[in-house]
Amino acid sequence: MPNALISVTDKSQLVEFAQELVTLGWVIWASGGTSNELRKNSITVNELSDYTGMGEMLGGRVKTLHPAIYAGILARDIHEDEKVLANNNWLRFDLVVVNLYPFEKKVQSPNIDLSEAIENIDIGGVALLRAAAKNFQRVLVVCDPADYSVVIDALKSGQNTETLRRSLAWKAFGVTSRYDAFIAGFLSSGEVYPLNLYRCQNLRYGENPHQQAIFYSFSPNEKPFDGRVLQGKELSYNNILDVDAGWRVVSSFDEPTVAIIKHLSPCGIASANTVAEAYRQALECDPVSAFGGIVASNRVIDETAAIQMKDLFIECIVSPGFTSEAMEILSRKKNCRVIEIPISTQYSNEQWELRSVYHGVLRQSVDWGDPHGTEWRVVTSKHPDQEQMVALKFAWKACQHVKSNAIVLAKGKSTVGIGGGQPNRVQSVRIAIENAGERARGAVMASDAFFPFPDSIEVAAKAGIGAIIQPGGSVRDNDVIRAADNSGIAMIFTGVRHFKH
């Protein structure tokens, strides 16, 4: 009868998996908590300590570190190795199931001390995984509960192939590599930064058809955004970039919000009482650029919203969900990808973001808007009225998602003109005003960084802008404030810049 060694921290699906193994004729050997969990659920299990003749020691630091165990895992299908096992009356282990102490999760806690972190460094588990993975030509190694069903199906169908064992082996080595990298990063206080990536999806091509592209994830078997494609083809390289930009926008708003994105740039952003109204207002901002873009919503898309979307060519629609009526309508848009992204996939959970550069990687903390304690101050003689304040707050948040130099014009809680990605700020102002047309009159204006000259204020005044919000901090702030006062424009300084490159 084949022997399985099981020692797991994450006990999800463990009982069902073990029961399947027993039914298939496997003998289960386990340690400590794993053994107790199986016995509690009436699973026949043997204690590893009874086999080795040694119990846990050093407060649980030593459990499975014994030659009787490792010889049984590392023994090859050759006469010499079989003789060693027989002479010592040692077992052969054909399946090793291990997951590790949650070191990475534990050290995310801001209050963890060094001693607690050290006790969450797994030694025996890593050694077991590495031993089993090294001997994949004979041994199955399982480090992820998600693979339990795969292994059971293979055993039932007689498909315990070397191809399967090899794929599980490299996954195990990936887990131990990532595990050690996080320990090194923690102990070195950032001198070592762990970056383990798993290929999850081959893309048709990159930004252009002559470029190759692959989607990698920080965890095995993840889809982009942890989402589900409900309709249409798999996301392309450019789709993933645009969906990322759109989901970042709508994740930063609490109210029902829609963002329309084209080439990583927002064409329109709006918040309203319903998704349908938010979409209508976002589309009005720049309906020409919206053609061929992606639509992101932070609320379920219903029939009313879907009806409004049916006539525009949209590459992709992403949302936490879609009603059946909405899906019926959207199903007629044959070339439109419909993606459901769990509401739990919020960027507020992310602490750091990475960007590749030549021969290196840049790492920075995520810009979640103004830091806690930021105080805005009115710097002009005229103060914004209540209606303008609502629009300024919305425009300021929307502006953070536009490429620098970024200018956003807004009325209420919707953009009416967006100008971004220009090397000079006054040009971004002109583009935003041109896109807004007559809607610029009475709108407010947000700028992601200070105005270096009063020219942008003068252009805004001619268009009828009523209030401005910007960080301030220019050596010519007094000139800029004077220009706003001369034009009867209210202006707020936030003291916080929000460049986006």
263 counts as catalytic: yes
Higher pLDDT, 313 or 177: 313
Residues 377-493: name the CATH superfamily: AICAR transformylase, duplication domain (3.40.140.20)
Lowest mean pLDDT among 37-46, 131-140, 376-385, 429-438: 37-46
What's residue 458's pLDDT?
96
Note the Cα 374 to chain centre separation in Å.
27
Query: What is the rounded average pLDDT of the residues 229-233?
Result: 89
Query: What is the rounded average pLDDT of the residues 408-437?
Result: 96
Query: What is the rounded average pLDDT of the residues 95-109?
Result: 74
Each residue's pLDDT tens digit, 29-47: 888 778 888 888 887 888 8
210 counts as catalytic: no
How buried is residue 321: exposed, middle or buried, by Cβ count under 10 Å (0-12/13-18/19+)?
Answer: middle
Tell me the whole-structure pTM to 2 decimals.
Answer: 0.78
Structure tokens at 214: 């692959």
Contact between 236 and 282 (Cβ < 8 Å) = no
Task: With cut-offs at 50, 70 and 90, classify the pLDDT of residue 100.
Answer: confident
DSSP per-residue string spanning 37-77: HHHHTT---EEHHHHHT---BTTTTBSS--HHHHHHHH--S
> Domains of the chain: which residue ranges?
3-188, 230-343, 377-493
Q: Which position among 11, 134, 382, 500 bears the catalytic label?
A: 134
Looking at the chain, the whole-number percentage of residues with pLDDT higher than 70 is: 92
What's residue 345's pLDDT?
58
Residue among 168, 157, 169, 142 at smallest CA distance from 4: 142
Task: With cut-offs at 50, 70 and 90, classify the pLDDT of residue 274.
Answer: very high
Each residue's pLDDT tens digit, 250-263: 999 999 999 999 99
Query: What is the rounded average pLDDT of the residues 373-390?
Result: 96
Contact between 7 and 125 (Cβ < 8 Å) = yes
Please tell me if the domain spanning 3-188 has the same topology as the one spanning 230-343: no
CATH architecture of the region 230-343: 3-Layer(aba) Sandwich (3.40)
Structure tokens at 282: 């976002």
In order of 121, 173, 457, the CA distances from 474 in angstroms are 50, 52, 14
Instruction: Tell me the β-bridge partners of 491.
Output: 468
Amino acid at 25: G
Q: Which position among 11, 106, 223, 263 bears the catalytic label?
A: 263
Each residue's pLDDT tens digit, 451-495: 999 999 999 999 999 999 999 999 999 999 999 999 999 999 999
Contact between 21 and 156 (Cβ < 8 Å) = no
Q: What is the CATH number of domain 3-188?
A: 3.40.50.1380
Contact between 250 and 272 (Cβ < 8 Å) = no
pLDDT surpassing 70 at residue 196: yes
